[in-house]
Each structure stands twice: as C-alpha cells, then as structure tokens.
Amino acid sequence: MIIKHSPRPPRKQANGVRRVPPVELLSARLLRLRIARGFSIDDLTEAPGVSLWILRRLETGKPVDKRELAPLAAALGVPLCELVCGDHDCTERACVPSNRLRR
C-alpha cells in the first residue's frame, strides 16, 4: 500500500545545507510584546494572575509552568498560542489550548 503525503515546500539551501529560520525565544517574544504595547513590568503585575516572579523568570529565560502564561497573554492582549509559539499557523506546532489552562 502506498501512502501519499502532501508535498512540503522546499527549504532554501546554501552550499547543500538547509537553512532553517531562527525561532524567537519566549523571553525575547515577551519582552518585544510588552514594550510594543507600552507596558512596564509593574503595569503587567497589576493584571490578575500575573506576578513579578513569573515575569522576571520568563524575561531571563528560565522555565515557567505553561498554566501561568494564560493570564499574561490576556494582560498583553494576545492569544496564548502567539505568546507561546510566535507568529505561525497553529496546525504546524502543538500548542496548548487556552480552554484547558483555565481549570
């Protein structure tokens, strides 16, 4: 039995090496979104469910439980998927649905 897969777009190659576009780190994405919306760290800590400890850990690149990201995404006014994964089509990566985090 032959299984047909949908063709993938070819990736750009240079000297026989595939170039994969760099992925923006969560800490850099959070800092970029916070500054673009004109929020200081103190402004974000006033939002319900967002603590200074979480913000400092995220912006320094340390791990945080994904359940703590939902209030932060709401305070920034972005979907949780955009905060976690960046700008992409959700079918390409496994994202945590925000309705599962609200328990």
At residue 29, does pLDDT exceed 50? yes
Residue 13: what pLDDT? 61
- Count Cα atoms within 13 angstroms, Cβ side, for 75: 23
At residue 37, does pLDDT exceed 80? yes
Percent of the chain scored above 90 by pLDDT? Answer: 10
DSSP state of 62: -
Q: What's the mean per-residue pLDDT of the chain?
A: 76
CATH superfamily to which 24-101 belongs: lambda repressor-like DNA-binding domains (1.10.260.40)
Q: Which helix (H) or strand (E) holds 23?
A: none
Instruction: Provide φ and ψ at 26, rounded to 5°.
Output: -60, -40
Burial status of residue 36 (CB atoms within 10 A of its CB: 0-12, 13-18, 19 or more): exposed
Model-level pTM greater than 0.85?
no
The torsion angle over the Cα atoms of residues 10, 15, 19 and 22, rounded to 10 degrees, is -160
